[in-house]
Amino acid sequence: MIASLKGIVQTKKPEGVIIEVSGVGYRVSVPLCSLADIPEPGENVFLHTYTHVREDALQLFGFLSEEERKVFTTVLGISGIGPKLGLAILSGMPALRFIEAVSSEDVELLSTIPGLGKKTASRLVLELKGKLPSLESDGAHGSKGHSVAEDAVSALVNLGYKKPTAEKAVDNAVRGGAAAIEDIIKEALKYLTDK
């Protein structure tokens, strides 16, 4: 099994990226949410990968973080959900937002993901509860039921950043260990200004 790839981006398109590793080009399907954060062609990239083997195909799925890959593989463990729908889920919303939606049983939000109806979204909530990696530390929820991460995203949107970009930056800040809203925003802004 190919667990990760480190190489040069050859092409970057919505249908996937091609990463050249020691002269060999690997076609890797990536979530659309992550596509913007993958370096431009000619630059180096590191992807955590999942190898899906069928009798008629060998497919690689790539993720910028270990958490994304864990969400993907956990979702694949549910009967009737294959890699195509797993990728659609992570293309529909960042991993952190998906985990929050499952833990808060937000079927309405989950069913906004293309290809995910209310019935499947309800089954996801039921079967994934407690199985997904936790991206937030204890006490990360505010008194009004909004998580600190959501408040941080809102603050960045108010500063003029697009919501998907803000969510990705907050996701990175939380994974980096930031828990207080001030720290999350500070780390997210560092991530955004480094891009």
pLDDT tens per residue, range 19-36: 999 999 999 999 988 888
Architecture of the domain defined by 4-63: Beta Barrel (2.40)
Is residue 121 scored above 60 in pLDDT?
yes
Which residues of the chain does CATH 2.40.50.140 include? 4-63
pLDDT at 55: 82
Task: State pTM to two decimals.
Answer: 0.66
Tens-place pLDDT, residues 37-62: 899 999 999 999 999 988 888 899 99
Distance CA 99, CA 68 (A): 10
pLDDT at 72: 92
Which residues of the chain does CATH 1.10.8 include? 148-194
- Best-predicted range by mean pLDDT (110-114, 128-132, 152-156, 189-193): 110-114
Distance CA 129, CA 121 (A): 12
Give me the CATH topology for the region 148-194: Helicase, Ruva Protein; domain 3 (1.10.8)
In the chain, the amino acid numbered 80 is: G
Which residues of the chain does CATH 1.10.150.20 include? 66-128
Architecture of the domain defined by 66-128: Orthogonal Bundle (1.10)
Distance CA 92, CA 31 (A): 8
Distance CA 50, CA 158 (A): 36
- What's phi and psi for 176, nearest 5 deg? -75, -5
Distance CA 56, CA 140 (A): 45
Least confident of 7-16, 28-37, 53-62, 186-195: 186-195
Average of per-residue pLDDT across 70-98? 88
Distance CA 75, CA 127 (A): 9
Residue that wins the pLDDT comparison between 141 and 160: 160
- What's phi and psi for 109, nearest 5 deg? -65, -45
